[in-house]
């Protein structure tokens, strides 16, 4: 995994740092779409001196460079996804759990007509909100 990450960084002109590698590794291992704080706590186990700000900047840089995906949902903290490929998400309205929704037919939906607004669409994501199985069992 690290060799692939190193190659991706080099191709984008990013330096390969221990901190950047560890943040990426944590994100690739955690499929829960963690928040900055969750990534920070996990990285601290390996690099106790790392700051939350460094983790945040690293996540933002990796997202800006297309190596990971920033997942934004109104009213909640940003989450990060190690899978940068276009895909959609399922979000639990009770606990906030976020899961990938890998349905390629959704990625093939046409963009809406923008002729009246002139709006340029750079990316699109469909987010389904509902209650996850765990929260349904608790109810």
- Provide Rg for the chain, Cα atoms: 17
Q: What's the mean pLDDT when you consider all of the chain? A: 90
* Integer CA distances (angstroms), 40 to 5, 50, 102, in order: 19, 8, 27
Evaluate if residue 107 carries a pLDDT over 80: no
Contact 104, 61 (CB under 8 A): no
Given the DSSP bridges, would you call strands 69-71 and 127-130 parallel, antiparallel or unpaired? unpaired
* Integer CA distances (angstroms), 115 to 111, 119, 125, 133, in order: 11, 8, 20, 41
Q: Which two tokens stand for residue 81?
A: 């996804």
Return the pLDDT at 1: 54
What are the tens digits of pLDDT across the range 20-71? 999 999 999 999 999 999 999 999 999 999 999 999 999 999 999 999 999 9
Domain with CATH 1.10.10.10 in the chain: 2-79
What are the tens digits of pLDDT across the range 118-127? 888 877 888 8
Domain with CATH 3.30.1490.190 in the chain: 85-138
Q: Domain 2-79, what fold?
A: Arc Repressor Mutant, subunit A (1.10.10)
Q: What is the pTM of this model?
A: 0.85
Q: Which of 46-55, 80-89, 106-115, 129-138 has the lowest mean pLDDT?
A: 106-115
Task: Tell whether domain 85-138 is in CATH 3.30.1490.190.
Answer: yes
């Amino acid at each position: 995994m690290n060799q692939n990450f190193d190659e991706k960084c080099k191709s984008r002109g990013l330096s390969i740092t221990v901190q950047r590698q560890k943040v990426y590794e944590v994100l690739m291992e955690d499929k829960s779409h963690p928040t900055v704080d969750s990534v920070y706590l996990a990285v601290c186990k390996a690099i106790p001196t790392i700051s939350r700000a460094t983790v945040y900047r690293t996540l933002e840089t990796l997202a800006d460079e297309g190596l990971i995906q920033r997942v934004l949902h109104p009213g909640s903290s940003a989450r990060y996804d190690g899978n940068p490929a276009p895909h959609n998400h399922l979000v639990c309205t009770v606990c906030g759990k976020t899961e990938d929704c890998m349905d390629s037919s959704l990625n093939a939906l046409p963009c809406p007509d923008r002729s009246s607004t002139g709006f340029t669409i750079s990316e699109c994501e469909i987010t389904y909100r509902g209650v996850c199985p765990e929260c349904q069992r608790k109810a």
